[in-house]
Amino acid sequence: MEDLTGWLKLQQAAIEKALKKHLPRGNCRPAVLHEAMRYSVFVGGKRLRPILCLAAAESCGGTLEGALLPACAVEVLHTYSLIHDDLPCMDDDDLRRGKPTSHKIYGEGMAVLAGDALLTEAFIMLAQAPATKRYTGADYIAELAQAAGSKKLIGGQVLDLEGEGKSLSKKQLVQIHEAKTSALLTAAVKLGGMTANATAKELKCLEQFGYNLGLAYQVVDDILDLVQTTDVLGKTAGKDLVAEKSTYPAIMGLEASRKEARRLTENAMDALDGLGKKGARLNQIASYLLERKF
């Protein structure tokens, strides 16, 4: 298996190109809205979710190209959630990916609308994705909309806001991370699998993988928020402490959190067994995410 870094760069380039193609032009009317939409999508980011979507398609024998529209849809939906999370009436954050957040540049009203438009755009993209023998466009949309809906992604943001200043149990923290992070990562890999016409058994493997990887990712995020600088992270470091948010390191300490991240990553890797050799790329990515520094 070729070098992961090279592969990641290739996929990132393919995703950038597809996002540029499928998002409405910046000069569409109203120009300021379309400019704001593109600003947040292209301000940077690791493109983790779309990359997972592409790798999952590969892991089920599909093509990267067949998974590109769902991959873009997931990234665009993720971007909407960041814009709204950063609003003054939510987490009130000025910095994201090392750049001013949407509302700092375009104002609050426009940031709300740019987020709304990106969420809507995600479904426009998914509705164009080619159906397979087992899955229709409506199946893709149901998968992403459920993950992004009131019981998962949005519900997680509510629980997160409610938890500020309170001391949460580990169980409560896991519930928030399941909803806020795992749900969308799981949808990303399942959508990739669906575009590859995955069997129910393969989808189940991807679901288990996404769930555990999402939790591991969030533990690492909590650790990095504590030990890294704002410069390296590209977003305000130490903000969990300021917002009095319960985090893994706060609840179980730094060393136990590192162990927990490793355990969850191993769970994710175990789930790939059902995919055979084709799961190797996802395995590499899981390992890479565990070791990341930002």
Which of 1, 3, 29, 165 is in the footprint of its own copies by CB under 8 A?
A: 29
Cα–Cα distances (Å) from 200 to 186, 207, 252, 261, 275, in that order, read 15, 10, 36, 28, 12
Provide the minimum distance between the beta carbon of 269 and its own copies in the complex, in angstroms, as a whole number: 30
Is 124 a residue that touches its own copies (CB under 8 A)?
yes
Count CA within 13 A, CB hemisphere, residue 158: 8
> How distant is the alpha carbon of residue 207 from its chain centre?
14
Is 84 a residue that touches its own copies (CB under 8 A)?
yes
Distance CA 6, CA 116 (A): 34
- Residue 94: both structure tokens together: 């000025």
Distance CA 25, CA 34 (A): 7
Which of 10, 13, 89, 232 is in the footprint of its own copies by CB under 8 A?
A: 89
Q: Which stretch binds its own copies (CB under 8 A): 6-14, 60-68, 133-141, 279-287?
A: 133-141
- Count of beta carbons in the 10 Å neighbourhood of residue 198: 26
Which of 98, 107, 253, 276 is in the footprint of its own copies by CB under 8 A?
A: 107
Is 87 a residue that touches its own copies (CB under 8 A)?
yes
Provide the minimum distance between the beta carbon of 139 and its own copies in the complex, in angstroms, as a whole number: 8
- Judged by CB, which is closer to its own copies: 177, or 281? 177
**Cβ(77)–Cβ(144) under 8 Å?**
yes
Least Cα distance to 117 among 200, 37, 15 occurs for 37
Least Cα distance to 117 among 148, 76, 171, 72 occurs for 76
Is 94 a residue that touches its own copies (CB under 8 A)?
no
Which of 127, 227, 232, 241 is in the footprint of its own copies by CB under 8 A?
A: 127
Provide the minimum distance between the beta carbon of 36 and its own copies in the complex, in angstroms, as a whole number: 9
Do you know the residue count of the chain? 294
Distance CA 97, CA 236 (A): 9
- Judged by CB, which is closer to its own copies: 29, or 277? 29
Provide the minimum distance between the beta carbon of 63 and its own copies in the complex, in angstroms, as a whole number: 20
**Cβ(73)–Cβ(144) under 8 Å?**
yes
- Judged by CB, which is closer to its own copies: 121, or 221? 121
- Residue 92: both structure tokens together: 């009130």
> How distant is the alpha carbon of residue 72 from its chain centre?
11
- Judged by CB, which is closer to its own copies: 38, or 281? 38
What binding mask, one character per residue, do residues 145-184 give for its own copies by CB under 8 A, x or -?
Answer: xx-xxxx--xx-xxx-xx----------------------
Residues forming contacts to its own copies in the complex (CB under 8 A) are: 24, 28-30, 32-34, 37, 80, 84, 87, 89-90, 107-110, 112-113, 115-117, 119-121, 123-124, 126-128, 131, 136-142, 145-146, 148-151, 154-155, 157-159, 161-162
